[in-house]
Amino acid sequence: MDAARQASVLTPPAIEAFELTKRYGEVLAVDALSLEIPSGQFFGLLGPNGSGKTTTVHMLSTLIRPTRGSARIAGFDVLSRAIEVRRTIGVVFQDPALDQNLSVAENLRFAGQLYGLSKAEIRRRSEELMELFGLTERRDQPVSRLSGGLRRALDIARGVIHEPRVLFLDEPTIGLDVPNRRRIWRFIGQLRARKGMTVLLTTHYLEEAADCDVVAFIQQGRIVKSGHPHQLIESLGSHVIEIEGERLDALAALLAPRLGAYLLEGETLCFRFKGDAAALAALQAELAPRVAALRVRRPNLNDVFLWINEARAWQAPERETHRPIGERACP
Ligand SMILES: Nc1ncnc2c1ncn2[C@@H]1O[C@H](COP(=O)(O)OP(=O)(O)OP(=O)(O)O)[C@@H](O)[C@H]1O
């Protein structure tokens, strides 16, 4: 066995969870969730509001006790070895942990002191992080004068000053506009490239997670689908066809035998398309005169999420769903 392989066999996964469960009274926030995330992976836990993402991160980072199940970070059990877990991880939550009255540099220094770093280490790492996150010129500004995007960047810098092996980012781009969201993603990418950290992030901006190595969709506390984002997207087909018009129910019934399952959302009928360019062009030519609007586009992670719902509803068609489904599952 070569050295790299031997090391990977001997190194425990960065994050492991086995049937992790959290119940709040009647609410099953996380329901027997199991995960194994190898060291260095960029993992996205994706799901709508209230699906259990934050509760999962809180259990993995020792902030709340699971009702049932177990989890380990770098081999340390979150219940019996919580101190080692806390030394191993960095956490950045939705509510910033920054002191508004302190400057950028002071916030980093304060965080470094909390982690027991030496003055020299704090200085070196602060300089490096400020440079990485575009904060060097703002070093003496109080946090209250920073833009939302830079505050978020500083919050992440603060969360990694102790150079954790595993970083949890809970909705790192929530509330930011698109340019700032892109910027935060760039920073996370640079951080990973330089430090080789394992990153678990949660987001409900699904399309943003396309750069993750692996994503898992969580719904009502359960992982309902996981895989490499590009493979999940490709598995939908080459295109998504969106149709607007009248009597969409009838059109859906007509096309379903050829195109498979469909989603009917309000005024829009959606099909997945698997076929070559000529078949697609023929279909477009056939449909265009019969509908008010026809859009053909590449699928994305949002579509993966929508079609998971469809697939689940398909298995239990008697259940009420806000997304009526087609009569046949896609091949
Ligand atoms: N302390 C609590 N007490 C009672 N119920 C809770 C508590 N924390 C979370 N919940 C419930 O657990 C479920 C999962 O919540 P959680 O915050 O983990 O979801 P989420 O996917 O992170 O959502 P968001 O993106 O809005 O943060 C929700 O129904 C929520 O209302």
CATH of the domain at 53: 3.40.50.300
Do residue 262 and residue 202 come from a single domain?
Answer: no
Domain assignment present for residue 1? The answer is: no
Ligand 1 mean position, distance from CA 167 (Å): 21
φ, ψ dihedrals at 231, nearest 5°: -65, -40
Tell the residue nearest (CA) to atom 28 of ligand 1: 50
Among the candidates 226, 258, 286, a domain finishes at 226
Q: What is the mean pLDDT of residues 96-106?
A: 90
Average pLDDT over residues 85-89: 94
CA of 105 to the centre of ligand 1 (A): 33
Instruction: Report the distance separating Cα 242 and Cα 271, nearest Å.
Output: 7
Residue 193's pLDDT is 83
Q: Do 53 and 179 reside in the same domain of the chain?
A: yes
Reading the block at residue 295, the tokens are 């859009």
Does 9 fall in a domain?
no
Taking the CA of residue 22 as reference, the ligand 1 atom at the shortest distance is 12
Distance CA 289, CA 287 (A): 6
8 located within any domain? no
Q: Half-sphere exposure of 205 toward its Cβ, with a 13 Å CA cutoff? A: 16
User: Is the shortest distance between the CB of 329 and ligand 1 below 6 Å?
Assistant: no
Are 25 and 48 in the same domain?
yes
- Residue nearest (by alpha carbon) to ligand 1 atom 16: 52
Neighbours of 318 (CB within 10 A): 5
Split into its structural domains, the chain has a count of 2
User: Residue 301 has which token pair?
Assistant: 């992670």
> Residue 255 is part of a domain; what is its CATH number?
3.30.70
Mutation probe of ligand 1 site: the residue of 20, 53, 67, 168 with most atoms within 8 A of C-beta:
53
Reported confidence tier of residue 217, pLDDT bands at 50, 70, 90: very high
Residues 218 and 70 placed together within one structural domain of the fold: yes
* pLDDT computed for residue 204 by the predictor: 84
Say if residue 89's pLDDT is above 90.
yes
**The two three-digit tokens of residue 61, written as one number:** 């980072």
Backbone angles phi, psi at 175, to 5 degrees: 80, 0
Answer yes or no: do 122 and 257 share one domain.
no
pLDDT in tens, 121-143: 999 999 999 998 889 999 999 99
- Rounded distance from Cα 17 to ligand 1 centre (Å): 19
User: 168 and 48, same structural domain?
Assistant: yes
Q: Long-range contact list for 306-312, CB < 8 A, 24+ apart? A: 306/263, 306/270, 307/236, 307/261, 307/263, 307/272, 308/217, 308/219, 308/224, 308/225, 309/219, 310/261, 310/263, 311/261, 312/224
Task: Note down the domain range covering 259.
Answer: 233-310
For residue 174 and ligand 1, the question of a CB distance below 6 A is answered with no
Residue 23 scores a pLDDT above 60: yes
Residues 259 and 274 occupy one common structural domain: yes
Q: Note whether residue 297 is domain-resident.
A: yes
Q: Is 53 near ligand 1, meaning CB less than 6 Å away?
A: yes
| ipTM score | 0.97
Of all protein residues, the one whose alpha carbon is nearest to atom 29 of ligand 1 is 50
Give residue 312's pLDDT.
40
**Is residue 328, in this structure, part of any structural domain at all?**
no
Q: Give residue-wise pLDDT tens across range 150-168.
A: 998 999 999 999 999 999 9
64 CA closest ligand 1 atom index = 1
List of residues 6+ apart from 275 with CB closer than 8 A: 238, 283
CA distance 104 to 126: 9
56 CA → ligand 1 middle, Å: 10
AA identity, residue 315:
Q
pTM, two decimals, is 0.85
Residues 177 and 32 placed together within one structural domain of the fold? yes
Question: What pLDDT score was predicted for residue 57?
Answer: 96
Residue 243, classed as helix, strand or coil, is strand
Q: Ligand 1 atom 4: the closest Cα is on which residue?
A: 24
Residue 61 CB–ligand 1 contact under 6 Å: no
Q: What is the rounded average pLDDT of the residues 274-284?
A: 92
The preferred substitution site among 24, 58, 206, 217 for testing ligand 1, maximizing ligand atoms within 8 Å of CB, is 24
Is the same domain home to 241 and 198? no
Whole-number pLDDT of residue 59: 98
For residue range 243-256, list pLDDT tens digits in order.
998 888 888 888 88
